Amino acid sequence: MSSQDMVEIRWHGRGGQGAKTACLLLADAAFSSGKYVQGFPEYGPERSGAPITAYNRISTERCGIHSNIYEPDYVVVVDEGLISCVDVTAGLKESGAIIINSSRSPEELRPLLKGYRGRVCTIDANRISREILGAVFPNTPMLAATVKVSRVVDPEKFAKDMEESFHHKFASKPQVIEGNMRVLKTSMEEVQG
Amino acid sequence: MAHLDRLSGNEAVAVAMRQIDPDVMGAFPITPSTEIPQYFAQYVADGLVHTELVTVESEHSSMSVCMGAAAAGGRAISATSSAGLALMYELLYVAASSRLPIVLAVSTRALSGPININNDHSDAMGARDAGWIQIYAENNQEVYDNYVQAFPIAETPEVRLPVMICQDGFITSHAVENIELLEDEEVKGFVGEYNPEHYLLNSREPLAVGPYDVTHYYMEHKKQEAEAMKNAKAAILEQARRFEALTGRKYGFFEEYRMEDAEEAIVVIGSTAGTAKATVDMLRAEGRKVGLVKVRVFRPFPGEELARALKHCRAVAVMDKSEGFSACGGPLFAETRSALYDLESRPKLINIVYGLGGRDVSTKDIAAVYDRLHHLAQTGQVGEVYTHMGVREEV
Amino acid sequence: MKRAKDIHENSPWQDLTPGGEIYEPATSLLFNTGDWRTQTPVFLEDKCKQCLLCVPYCPDSAIPVKDGKRGEFDLMHCKGCGICITACPFDAIVWKEAE
């Protein structure tokens, strides 16, 4: 197995925020585009609000490694507050990027990232979600921003696949599909850095 | 025709259960196997299976349900982990000695204490002498494939023993990965109809199951059970052969990975084998002669076959994901070392207890084991035989 | 089919049934447990009113009933516990005199 074409992503979130769901949705999206995927959370007792980690490996060949990810290509921070209590850039490759849910700009956040010199991206996932859906569900915007930044899946194909899965998932309440698709597209447009 | 999907290990097991459509499930939840009865209950609610789902108040009862159902002539299943398996302990022996071909999915987890919900093999290893066939998986694909093969092995007339289909809790039970699923009809065709010779619901033949066994008979019945476990070896290989004909996927007692000319090898069970294979590839790229044996079938233990696979190695590390407290090594080590005893010349052997209670194992950790083996092979100095990997200690 | 009558304490393991399964009813007829008895009850038919109270009390089902009437004890299974003697309201069961 060659590691060159494998992309490794680490998600940082809080219990109950949907980081694990976003991680599994990304695995779904990558699977739909013909990739080999892994999506798995680092488990412990489930405690709402406590920091949690989840991982993706996405590759053109099956990956047999079943360890956590120590040198990710991308890190996704679903809750900005985690930056001060979790070493989010640990092992993060400088050729990769960190994607943070924040209303602040990448320049404002970089000083908080322990000298990380790679790409810093931000997306105001809470605001986008609140404006379009009327409530804070940061995982869909974070997923969209991650796809846009990492291009681990073709963004257009991703949007199309997600629309299909929304039709399936929200078959009984089709009125929310349009909003979720707007969240997705807005997030891909607004991600900075 | 196979179709591709992406499923967690637990869901893969539940899908195999749905495709087999057994008669009875004794169900009681425990982390990390809970999703299995959860998915399966949905199949029952949706009318996708005809299974009688019996929700009970403990694992002692879920296994009792399975035993009653199996004795009655049905196919019976359950799923459990850790303390749940421990609570079944008494029944595990009764199920095996009553020769009931039950299939139990185990998402392995540490057996407390201290209390811990994460993965190791101490639950399944604790049940290794209960008379159950034990088959372990590296990933979601293998646990699915093993599950499909389980009933035909268990129900082989010369075997008639229950089977545990084990996978690593959380590490594969909760990891979503690509998987190739068989069509429902293919699974049903492979598993076939179950027509036991004797069963309680047969109105034409009164039957007593599990009678008291006085000393004059007990040892003879245990000898029968021991012979059945020996017979299981042929049945496991026969079902692997049929399964390969159906899917192209090859299974045996263990998998040898780059062992042809390997001088240093690791023997391991479960998901760590995948991480170790990646490490073997990296070290092979540097010219190192390293290999791996992944044990799939722990009961019956393929001792002679394993000895043949390892005899040409100079140094072997047997890795145990459970602590047997024998004060001289874990259970896989004890079996492997015993298997090598009859060889004229044997590799140097060390035991590494690792990954307890969910302690992560990376390619770097595995590379360090091969480095230790290399040093051992070069110097002949075995050093401490029984060690624990990655434990913090004052030096 | 392995029959209970062919299985005994000298049978080799190959001749036993898996898990000790028994494929027929009434195998107790093959096993005389009456010789565990140290005392023997005697049925006095002329005192008996056929109330049948002794029958359900007997722990070994050793009092046969036919056409609504009890008969002689089944001494192949009677253990001589004497419960029937206590249960009988008419003194129609007594211990046998020592021989």
pLDDT value of residue A102: 97
Residues C42, C25, single domain; the answer is no
Q: Which residues of B touch A62 (CB under 8 A)?
A: 177-178
For residues B240 and B149, is the Cβ–Cβ distance under 8 A?
yes
For residue C21, the chain B residues in CB contact (below 8 A) are 99, 198, 207-209, 211
Q: Are residues C40 and C59 in the same domain?
A: yes
CB A126 within 8 A of CB A183: no
Residues C75 and C42 in one domain: yes
Residue A93 lies in a domain: yes
**Mean pLDDT in residue range B58-79:** 98
For residue B113, is the peptide bond before it cis, meaning its omega torsion is within 30 degrees of 0? yes
Q: Residue B192: is its pLDDT beyond 80?
A: yes
Say if strands B76-80 and B24-27 run parallel, antiparallel, or are unpaired.
parallel
Q: Which among B259, B274, B368, B282 is positioned nearest to B350, based on CA atoms?
A: B368
Task: Give the number of B-C residue pairs with CB atoms closer than 8 Å.
Answer: 46
Residues C62-77, mean pLDDT to the nearest whole number: 97
* Binary contact (B358, A43; C-beta < 8 A): yes
Q: What is the pLDDT of residues A80-115, one digit of tens each?
A: 999 999 999 999 999 999 999 999 999 999 999 999
Judge if C91 and C51 occupy the same domain: yes
- Average of per-residue pLDDT across B335-358: 97
CB contacts of A39 in chain B (<8 Å) are 175-177
Distance, CA of A44 to CA of A41 (rounded, Å)? 9
The rounded distance, in Å, linking the Cα atoms of A58 and A75 is: 14
Report whether pLDDT(A4) > 80. no
Does B221 sit within 8 Å of C19, measured CB to CB?
A: yes
Residue A182 lies in a domain: yes
Confidence tier at C99 by pLDDT (50, 70, 90) = low
Tell whether C80 and C60 lie within a shared domain.
yes
pLDDT at A164: 86
Q: At what angle do helices B89-97 and B59-72 cross, to 10 degrees?
A: 10
On the question of pLDDT at B395 being above 90, the answer is no
Q: Cβ contacts (< 8 Å) between B223 and chain C: which residues?
A: 13
H/E run at residue B200: none
Q: Is the pLDDT assigned to residue B319 strictly greater than 90?
A: yes
Q: Would you say residue A2 lies in a domain?
A: no
pLDDT tens across B168-187, in order? Answer: 999 999 999 999 999 999 99
If asked whether residues C82 and C96 sit together in one domain, one would say yes
**What is d(CA B42, CA A136) in angstroms, rounded to the nearest whole number?**
30
C76 in the same domain as C38 = yes
pLDDT digits (tens, 9 = 90+) for B117-141: 999 999 999 999 999 999 999 999 9
Based on the structure, what is the number of domains in chain C?
Answer: 2
CATH number for the domain that contains residue A184:
3.40.920.10
B111-123 pLDDT, tens digit per residue, is: 988 999 999 999 9
Closest of A162, A190, A129, A171 to residue A26, by C-alpha = A162
- Which residue from C20, A1, A186 is spatially nearest to B209, judged by alpha carbons? C20
Mutate which of C2, C16, C28, C30 to test chain B, going by most B C-beta atoms within 10 A? C16
User: Which chains lie within 8 Å of chain A at 3 or more CB pairs, if any?
Assistant: B
Contact criterion met (CB < 8 Å) for B275 and A67: yes
Where residue B189 falls among pLDDT bands split at 50, 70, 90?
Answer: very high
Pick the more confident residue, A44 or B331: B331
| Furthest C-alpha separation in chain A | 48
Both C49 and C94 in one domain: the answer is: yes
Report the gap between the CA of B5 and the closest CA in chain A (Å): 8
To the nearest whole percent, how much of chain B has pLDDT over 90? 98
For C9, the domain range is: 1-31
Residue B2 has pLDDT above 90, yes or no: no
Examine the domain organization and report whether C51 and C96 are in the same domain: yes
Q: Does A68 touch chain B (CB under 8 A)?
A: yes
- Verify that C46 and C23 share a domain, yes or no: no
Domain containing residue A163: 7-190
What confidence score (pLDDT) does residue B1 get?
64
What is the domain count for chain A?
1
Query: A1 pLDDT exceeds 50?
Result: no
Does B240 score more than 90 pLDDT? yes
Query: In Å, how far is B333's CA from the nearest CA of chain A?
Result: 22
Residues of C contacting chain B (CB within 8 angstroms): 9, 11-13, 16, 18-25
Name, in order, each residue with C-beta under 8 angstroms of C80's C-beta and a sequence gap of 6 or more.
C37, C38, C39, C40, C41
CA pair distance B98, B213, nearest whole angstrom: 11
Distance from CA of A69 to the nearest CA of B (A): 9
Q: At what angle do helices A139-150 and A125-133 cross, to 10 degrees?
A: 130
Contact flag B178-A62 (C-beta cutoff 8 Å): yes
Domain annotation for chain B: domains and CATH numbers: 3-247 (3.40.50.970), 254-388 (3.40.50.920)
Please report whether residue A96 resides in a domain.
yes
Instruction: Name which residue leads in pLDDT, B207 or B1.
Output: B207
Q: pLDDT tens-digit profile of A168-185?
A: 878 888 888 999 999 999
The answer to whether residue A179 is domain-embedded is yes
One domain for residues C3 and C27: yes
Whether A34 contacts chain B with CB within 8 A: no
Chain A contact set for B139 (CB, 8 A): 64, 66
Percent of chain B at pLDDT above 70?
Answer: 100
Q: Shortest CB distance from B171 goes to which of A36, A37, A66? A: A66
* Predicted confidence (pLDDT) at residue A2 exceeds the cutoff of 90: no
State whether C49 and C66 are in the same domain.
yes
The structure's pTM equals: 0.94
